[in-house]
Structures are given as structure tokens and as C-alpha cells.
């Protein structure tokens, strides 16, 4: 949904351990300015929850941590460029961006 | 009346165990940070309510936590550990050059005088410090840039800086140990470092007496006698009487000189504790008997301590940072196991009781003696 200042409200679903770290709900609503890209959503997420910096993207490279995945509208966006526009359904808030921890190990 | 707070890091969270000075009845708080690996947590000697914790995950990387109320509540602090400059390379397991890559914080050592100042030993081996309570971190890069750095090689657990000892009589003197590079000392607050490994002999190395490359598992000292160091190496228990300039073996009559932990009695600088482990591949006690060994002579002559410890079918390990002592008049000794037990002795090791039996695998144990 586009707000009066041109921002969009994007829904983001966090994995359990990041929710507990950020003391956040499972699903968040983030105001994202400009084109709704993965980078813009993650920037907005980390600005609101600074303790998530470094837990989704590596500090040094800015790249996704290896055991995390991004899904939107049932598609895997993990290997898409960070500056690619997310689907309109995510930008409009009809569908969430899912951040998922790999099901691996103990 | 004094009390004791035991800080336990495990594979799946942190726990805080509290008792009065009698150390008979314990309250268990936690898990804190459930599901995360807590390699280490430790309190500030200058403010016992200030605690720091290293929280990490294979999925989400490294985060750091701080408490200002003795571990009742916690808040995340800074988690950016960036090597100073271009990190360069160390040796990989096969001897090829491998770039330095930050993985996690193994050990936290708060300053003796300033609660806001804390050191962090990390993998790949480097020493960081924060002077603002863990909000920002800077590398003391003189260590990693030591001329021997390119020769350092990871041990089986990774190339970790796991031991940090602050000399209370000389503020600029710090000892650290790295697996598998060895021990190092600075006398200028971390600007310059020297390897202190003369006398160590590691048979698995091409040059068993090389300046670096030794797999030091842990080092301990008594604060009243900080120039005397005790070391549990991959093999061999060692002692130095000259601030690490030279080492002599004091394994003596130990049933095996392999192990991880070593610690010193709070009031008797010549009383030392180790937990012998059968071998470097099996990693469990000899004969299924969990025994702490105590020397009252600074090494060489060791006695097994078994009362209250399992003497059959015990196949746990005791990891390098999982033993600590309290400072009550009758020194308490504590250690945790990979089986999730935390054992305590309120009489310097003569008798042992499990405080808890079924935690996740214990990675570290620290003790605070509170007024």
C-alpha cells in the first residue's frame, strides 16, 4: 500500500530466532521508501531493528547469509539481485516477504 | 553473606545458577537466548551486575548481549567485528594460504577496572576490544599482524583465540592463547605481541619445538602471582614461572596428559586442577570415570578427585572454558560437561555434587563471588 509520502507498507515475516532477538512479532509492517527492492526492505528492517544487522546480511559483503532464504509470492528470491523490484503484491502489502532459516542441522 | 553466581554457556542457550555461600541449594535461571550457541558469558570484576554474553548461530552469525542487572534482563549490543585493514592469510589445514574470516566470539574478558571495557577473543584468531560496553568493537591488530601470523593454523575446533588473561599487577600485560598457534603476550596493552612458546613440544608438528603452531587448549593463572602460568596443551600440562618466557612439563603422574581445562585454586596458587581426557580423538574420560585431578605442588604430583563424580559409564567431555573457581574462603570449584551436567565442589574438590544434570552441552562456566 502506498502512503501519502510515497512510501509503501511492506509485510515481513521473520524466522523464530530473529523474532526473539528483535523482540518482534512474527510478521512486521515496514514503511519502505522508493522502489520496493530486497535491499530497501532489509535497510528498513535493520533501521528499525538495529540488532538484526549482520544476522541476515554479512557485514563485510552485504550479501545474504548462506543459511537464510528470501521467498515472495511462493518464489525463491534468494539469488535475485538485491536491487531487483519485488513483486507488486509484496510492494502493496497483499503478500509478505518471508525470511526463512534453512532447515538444517540441530 | 556472600553468594555465588555461576554463568553457564551451552550449545542451546545460557543459564545462570545462584546459591548462597553455603553452595548447597541452587536456583537455575534460563534458558536465556534459547536455541543459540552461547560460547561464553562473563561478568565485570569492577561491576558484578555488568555481564557480557557471546551469542552465535550457524544461521544468523554473531550477536552480543549485555546485562546491567546480573543477568535478569539482557539487551543486544554491537556485533560488528571487522579486521583492521586487509586481513591477509593464515595457513589452512592442508598448509595452503587461507584468508582470515570472522566466524564467532569464543571468549569475553571484561577489564579488571572498567565495566565498559571488554576484550573478545574470536575465530579466526584475533583480539578485539570494546570501550563502550560492547556497542562498538575494534581489533587490537598487532596480534594478528605478528610476523608469525601467516604460519598460524586452525585446530580441529577452528582457529580460535580462546584464552585471555589480564595481569592485575601490570595493566598493559595480557596473555592470550590460540588453537593452534600457541600462547602470546603483550606488555603494552595489545600494541605489540610476542609468542611465548619456548619449552612446548608438540610431536604432531614437523618441527615439534617451533615458535608457533602449538595447540594450546587453555591457560590459567592465579591473580596474586600472575607471572606463573599453567597450561593444558593438546598433549602435556605445562608450567611457566617467568611470564611465559619458558615452559616446563608438569604432567607428572596424570593418567593422560590430554585434556582441555586447567584452573588454579582461589587462595592457593600452587593448587591446580585439570580433567584428563583419554585421547585427542575419543574425547571422553579414561575408563568411563570422570575424575578431576588436583595438584597441590604446582604440578607433577596429582591426585584424583572422584567423590560425587560418576565412576562408571561416563563418556562426556569437559571443554576448555568450562571450569572456574569461586573466591569464598573455602574455594569452590565448578565444571560443566558436554552431557549437560554442571558439577560443583564447595571444598576445593574433595566432594562434588551436580548443580544441574540435564542442560544442553556445556561450552563454558564462569563464577562470580558476590558480596
Mean pLDDT of all residues in B126-150:
97
Residue A58: its chain B contacts at CB < 8 A?
Answer: 61
Which residue is closest to A59 within chain B, CA to CA? B80
pTM of the complete model: 0.96
Query: Nearest CA of chain A to the CA of B199: how many Å?
Result: 39
Residues 76-115 of B with CB under 8 A from A: 76, 79-80, 82, 102
**B34 touching A, CB under 8 A?**
yes
Kindly report, residue by residue over B244-290, the tens digit of the pLDDT. 999 999 999 999 999 999 999 999 999 999 999 998 899 999 999 99
**B208 touching A, CB under 8 A?**
no
Mean pLDDT of all residues in B19-47:
97
Kindly report, residue by residue over A93-102, the tens digit of the pLDDT. 999 999 999 8
Domain B71-370 indexed as CATH 3.20.80.10 = no
Residue B62: its chain A contacts at CB < 8 A?
Answer: 54
Please, which pLDDT band fits residue A106 given cuts at 50, 70 and 90? low
**B73 touching A, CB under 8 A?**
no
B33-69 exposure pattern, b = at least 16 Cβ within 10 A, e = fewer: beebbbbbbbbbbeeebbbbbbbbbbbbbbbbbbbee
Partners of residue B292 on adjacent β-strands: B305
d(CA B11, CA B359): 9
The domain limits of chain A are 7-95
Kindly report, residue by residue over A2-29, the tens digit of the pLDDT. 555 578 999 999 999 999 999 999 999 9
The domain limits of chain B are 71-370
- pLDDT at residue number A105: 60
Pick one of 3.40.50.150, 3.10.20.30, 1.10.3720.10, 3.40.50.300 as the CATH number of A7-95: 3.10.20.30
**In this structure, what are the phi and psi dihedrals at residue B232, rounded to the nearest 5 degrees?**
-100, 110
Residue B79: its chain A contacts at CB < 8 A?
Answer: 51, 53-55
Write the residue in B36, B59, B79 that is nearest to A65 by C-beta: B59
Residue B35: its chain A contacts at CB < 8 A?
Answer: 16-17, 20
Query: Nearest CA of chain B to the CA of A3: how many Å?
Result: 32
Which residue is closest to A55 within chain B, CA to CA? B60
Pairing status of strand A97-101 against strand B3-10 = unpaired
Return the C-alpha cell found at B232: 593444558
Amino acid at each position: 500500500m502506498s502512503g501519502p509520502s510515497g512510501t509503501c507498507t511492506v509485510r515481513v515475516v521473520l524466522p523464530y530466532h530473529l523474532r526473539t532477538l528483535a523482540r518482534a512479532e512474527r510478521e512486521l509492517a515496514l514503511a519502505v521508501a522508493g522502489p520496493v527492492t530486497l535491499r530497501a526492505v532489509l535497510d528498513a528492517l535493520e533501521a528499525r531493528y538495529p540488532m538484526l544487522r549482520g544476522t541476515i546480511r554479512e557485514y563485510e559483503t552485504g550479501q545474504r547469509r548462506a543459511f537464510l532464504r528470501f521467498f515472495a509470492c511462493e518464489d525463491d528470491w534468494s539469488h535475485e539481485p538485491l536491487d531487483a523490484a519485488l513483486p507488486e503484491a509484496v510492494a502493496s502489502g497483499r503478500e509478505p516477504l518471508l525470511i526463512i532459516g534453512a532447515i538444517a542441522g540441530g | 553473606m556472600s553468594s555465588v553466581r555461576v554463568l553457564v554457556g551451552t550449545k542451546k542457550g545460557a543459564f545462570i545458577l545462584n546459591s548462597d555461600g553455603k553452595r548447597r541449594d541452587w536456583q537455575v535461571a534460563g534458558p536465556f537466548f534459547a536455541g543459540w550457541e552461547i560460547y561464553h558469558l562473563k561478568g565485570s570484576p569492577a561491576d558484578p551486575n555488568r555481564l557480557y554474553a557471546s551469542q552465535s548461530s550457524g544461521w544468523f552469525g554473531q550477536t552480543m548481549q549485555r546485562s546491567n542487572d546480573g543477568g535478569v534482563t539482557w539487551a543486544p549490543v554491537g556485533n560488528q567485528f571487522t579486521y583492521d585493514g586487509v586481513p591477509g592469510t593464515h595457513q589452512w589445514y592442508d598448509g595452503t594460504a587461507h584468508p582470515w574470516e570472522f566466524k564467532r566470539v569464543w571468549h569475553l574478558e571484561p577489564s579488571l577496572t572498567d565495566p565498559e571495557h571488554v576484550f573478545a577473543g574470536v575465530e579466526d584468531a584475533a583480539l578485539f576490544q570494546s570501550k563502550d560496553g560492547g556497542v562498538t568493537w575494534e581489533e587490537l591488530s598487532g596480534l594478528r599482524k605478528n610476523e608469525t601470523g601467516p604460519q598460524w593454523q586452525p585446530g580441529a575446533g577452528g582457529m580460535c583465540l580462546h584464552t585471555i588473561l589480564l595481569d592485575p599487577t601490570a595493566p598493559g600485560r595480557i596473555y592470550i592463547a590460540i588453537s593452534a598457534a600457541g600462547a602470546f603476550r603483550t606488555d603494552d596493552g595489545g600494541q605489540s605481541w610476542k609468542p611465548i612458546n619456548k619449552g612446548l613440544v608438540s610431536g604432531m608438528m614437523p618441527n615439534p619445538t617451533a615458535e608457533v603452531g602449538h595447540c594450546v587448549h587453555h591457560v590459567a593463572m592465579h591473580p596474586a602471582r600472575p607471572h606463573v602460568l599453567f597450561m593444558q596443551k593438546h598433549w602435556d600440562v605445562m608450567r611457566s614461572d617467568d611470564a611465559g618466557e619458558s615452559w616446563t612439563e608438569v604432567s607428572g603422574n596424570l593418567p593422560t596428559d590430554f585434556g582441555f581445562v586447567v584452573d588454579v585454586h582461589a587462595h592457593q596458587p600452587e593448587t591446580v586442577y585439570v580433567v584428563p581426557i583419554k585421547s585427542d580423538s575419543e574425547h571422553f574420560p579414561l575408563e568411563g570415570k570422570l575424575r578431576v585431578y588436583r595438584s597441590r605442588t604446582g604440578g607433577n604430583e596429582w591426585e584424583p578427585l572422584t567423590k560425587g563424580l560418576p565412576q562408571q559409564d561416563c563418556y562426556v567431555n569437559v571443554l576448555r572454558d568450562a571450569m572456574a573457581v569461586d573466591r569464598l574462603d573455602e574455594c569452590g570449584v565448578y565444571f560443566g560437561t558436554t552431557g549437560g551436567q554442571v558439577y560443583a565442589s564447595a571444598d576445593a574438590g574433595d566432594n562434588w555434587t551436580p548443580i544441574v544434570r540435564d542442560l544442553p552441552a556445556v561450552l563454558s562456566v564462569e563464577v562470580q563471588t558476590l558480596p
